[in-house]
Structure 1
Amino acid sequence: MAATQVIQSEWTKIRSVASTVWTLALAVVVTVGLGMLISALTKSQYDNLSETERLSFDPTFISFAGMSLGQLALIVFGVLVVSNEYSTGMIRTSLAAVPQRGTLLFSKVAVATALALVVGMVTSFITFFLGQLMLGDLKASIGDPGVLRAVIGGGLYMTLIAMFSMGVAAMLRSPMLSLGILMPFFFLISTILGAVSATKKVGQYLPDQAGSKIMQVVTPINDDTPYGPWGGLAIMVAWVAAALVGGYVLLKRRDA
């Protein structure tokens, strides 16, 4: 089967599974809604901030506060796209139709990545503009230095989270096992490692912590992170590449 036909087939699969569509919708709603809420709360509490907190105040980054929860929906999306066929047994049919396993995985990832990129970019821009609306006179403008980079970076971050999840799901094959590892990793372990001083230097090289740097415009006071926005994104891309290569290698070596 030609690569274009495989891509069309994967597009049909993704559209026909309601859960994948709902997870993308949930990512938008949670990211935008929580971002607006936290931006509004920040505006109301701004007068109570210390001088140090005001110097670190980043209106752009604040509008992306909902991304920490919204990314969980992208993780579910990435996992379901790849591992759904394993849980239903349809993977055998897919491999029979497309014996070239690399082509099958590439097509699946390509279609899902394109969809995640569109949703991520739309979500990022809506989140920014509505968040700034909530911040009122504290807002940043899309034309301010570094802001457009941060907003585009927000969309790239969401896309890379989904891609990383696809790679992990391709390695583990089980949706329950994949989610059982990824959810605690991003929601608890990464946060704890980044917050504890003894493990902070390790935590800052994890994919979510490094990647989120691209959404920062104002560098916080006393921030000793050894890389900038693009360096952080590059670290996240390396994690994604490693996960996808691992998924490809195991798909080639294992039986369906």
Structure 2
Amino acid sequence: MRSLRAEWTKFRTVRGWVLAMIVASAAIVGLGIMPGMQGTCGADCGLPVGPGGEEVTDAFTFMHQPMTGDGTIAAQLTSLTGILPDDPDPSAEQSGGAGPSAAKGAAAGRPGLVPWAKAGLLLKDGTRPGSAYAAVMLTGTHGVRLQYDYTHDVAGPAATPTSTPTPQWLRLTRTGDTVRAEVSADGSAWQTVGTADLSGLPDTVEVGLFATSPQYSAATSGAFGMSGASGGPTQATGVFENVAVTGTPSGGWRGEIIGGADDNAGGATQDSGRFTVSGTGDIAPAVAGAAGLGVTITQTLVGTFAGLIVVVVVGAMFITAEYRRGLVRTTMAANPRRGRTLAAKAVVIGAVTFVTSLPGVAAVVVIGQKVLRANGVYVHAASAVTEAQVIVGTAAVLAVSAVLALALGMIVRHSAAAVTTAIVAIVLPYLLTMTVLPAGAGQWLLRLTPAAAFAVQQSTPQYAQVDNIYTPVNGYFPLVPWAGFAVLCGWTAIALAAATLLVRRRDV
């Protein structure tokens, strides 16, 4: 306790250090709420909410009819084709510029299917976007799947081809709240794909045939690596025959475009027992980035880098200033246990950084969302738990970074060298990933270097069934939040161990 009290007294009596910590927090707030990013819709681009409370995309073409009670729908999917954009428009990735209904003009383009183009059978709680559903489908390159309630994805039997050979026989069977999905090569021998539990499913549901195709997106590369993304609307067309509904169907078939898409998004026709359904959009969790809409709260934290540089400078100077002024001999004479002195300094600089930065990070996450929405940018909602993770995690990253700078300062005994090393280790990998490195190399840097800690700012999950450019540019990181933070802690522990060893062995 005596060492802690002594180090805290040293820190608070140097006004420059105290003011610098205040400036660091103010920089995070100022840069985070400063108007800059512009969009076109803001709150008007509201997304439907799925059964689990998550934001979802629910846009497709549906040829359907009501069915009451238990029953079955089966059909032979005889063809799955698609249209890709001729000239993908890079502006499709701009914040607020593309939403669930952004597939205008998909009817013009070149033949082809995106990997998650979908056509198959769908059972849904009405036609309201965001309502519960279960679907068995053939996809562009991922074979037959059972998907339900947006976040659940089950692959078909191992024998099911992963490309798009047709025909495929598909079947959905409802028993109470349980829906079983099956696939067959001949319509006689059926294999189970999986079952979906749709708790609270009403007695009467809509069943039928559907088709949809998500936004095309691809990374574009400049001379030194990834420099942006291109994308555009796509369309999928499924042709169905031998459609049979058992149980208690009521009413005739009705074709409908769900999710607010315009007439160019597709349609459904029936001719002598053959159904042709063309659609665009997706039935999946909503994402931010090139394949989705808007941004996440991660984009409010651009000021983290300015704050980090300030706290790194203070962390390094907390020890190097004593070396420069010759006061370190007095410190070590007062407490001969040098390792304890270093530990006390680490606790003080870490605690002060965390306490001073936490309010600033919290303010910018809350206020920054409002600023972005006021500028017409759609910001994905985040739960209170996720916001707490981002706020506490960012403050913790700043605190541990200050401790890392302290340890480097003890090792090199020079402020400029310690600060430069810390910034190169923490900030430079992130900036290289964002600007000049190919995506693969950048992902590895964000796994191995201290910059991995920025993963604590990821506020939305990645989904295997949603193709997107999952990079830090769009708020996604290769490691889960606390694994990334652990990488920074590991590097800091190594630096502290080396600093402790050196301070014990060499002359002060």
TM-score, structure 1 normalization: 0.87
Q: Which one of the candidate residues 390, 398, 402 is aligned to 1:158? A: 398
2:468 equivalent to 1:216: no
In structure 2, relative to structure 1, the CA distance for the partners of 1:244 and 1:122 (3 Å cut) is same
Question: How many Å separate the matches in 2 of 1:77 and 1:71?
Answer: 10
User: Is the CA contact 2:409–2:415 (under 8 Å) kept in the aligned structure 1?
Assistant: yes
Question: How many Å separate the matches in 2 of 1:57 and 1:210?
Answer: 24
The count of corresponding residues between Structure 1 and Structure 2 is 251
* Unmatched runs of 5 consecutive residues or more in structure 2: 41-94, 99-230, 233-288, 463-467, 472-476
Per the TM alignment, residue 205 of structure 1 is displaced from its structure 2 partner at its CA by 2.8
Question: How many Å separate the matches in 1 of 2:461 and 2:20?
Answer: 32
Measured against aligned partners, the alpha-carbon deviations of 1:27-80 in whole angstroms (never above 9, x if no partner) come to 11211111112xx32244634467743627443101111112221001111101
Q: Which one of the candidate residues 343, 359, 375 is aligned to 1:122? A: 359
2:442 equivalent to 1:200: yes
Counting only pairs closer than 5 Å after superposition, residues 144-155 of structure 1 correspond to structure 2 as 144=384, 146-155=386-395
Counting only pairs closer than 5 Å after superposition, residues 87-236 of structure 1 correspond to structure 2 as 87-136=324-373, 138-139=378-379, 143-144=383-384, 146-188=386-428, 190-192=430-432, 195-197=436-438, 199-219=441-461, 221-223=468-470, 226-236=478-488
Measured against aligned partners, the alpha-carbon deviations of 1:141-173 in whole angstroms (never above 9, x if no partner) come to 664562221121111111111111111111111
User: Is the CA contact 1:132–1:140 (under 8 Å) kept in the aligned structure 2?
Assistant: no
User: Is the CA contact 1:141–1:147 (under 8 Å) kept in the aligned structure 2?
Assistant: no
Q: Pairwise CA RMSD of aligned residues?
A: 2.5
Measured against aligned partners, the alpha-carbon deviations of 1:199-237 in whole angstroms (never above 9, x if no partner) come to 324411354431111111124733385521111111111
Per the TM alignment, residue 192 of structure 1 is displaced from its structure 2 partner at its CA by 2.0
SS of residue paired to 2:470 = coil
User: Is the CA contact 1:35–1:64 (under 8 Å) kept in the aligned structure 2?
Assistant: yes
Which has the larger share of strand?
2
Question: How many Å separate the matches in 2 of 1:216 and 1:28?
Answer: 20
Question: How many Å separate the matches in 1 of 2:495 and 2:450?
Answer: 14
73-82 or 224-233: which moved more? 224-233
Letter in 1 for 2:30: G
Q: Which one of the candidate residues 21, 38, 41 is aligned to 2:36? A: 41
Counting only pairs closer than 5 Å after superposition, residues 1-16 of structure 1 correspond to structure 2 as 4-16=1-13
Question: How many Å separate the matches in 2 of 1:178 and 1:145?
Answer: 35
TM-score, structure 2 normalization: 0.46
User: Is the CA contact 1:56–1:219 (under 8 Å) kept in the aligned structure 2?
Assistant: no
SS of residue paired to 1:217 = coil
* Unmatched runs of 5 consecutive residues or more in structure 1: none
Q: Which one of the candidate residues 280, 304, 309 is aligned to 1:67? A: 304
Question: How many Å separate the matches in 2 of 1:59 and 1:67?
Answer: 15
Tell which structure's C-alpha radius of gyration is larger. Answer: 2
Question: How many Å separate the matches in 2 of 1:231 and 1:161?
Answer: 16
User: Is the CA contact 1:206–1:236 (under 8 Å) kept in the aligned structure 2?
Assistant: no
User: Is the CA contact 1:43–1:136 (under 8 Å) kept in the aligned structure 2?
Assistant: no
Per the TM alignment, residue 14 of structure 1 is displaced from its structure 2 partner at its CA by 0.4
In structure 2, relative to structure 1, the CA distance for the partners of 1:240 and 1:8 (3 Å cut) is same
In structure 2, relative to structure 1, the CA distance for the partners of 1:185 and 1:208 (3 Å cut) is closer
Question: How many Å separate the matches in 2 of 1:41 and 1:226?
Answer: 27
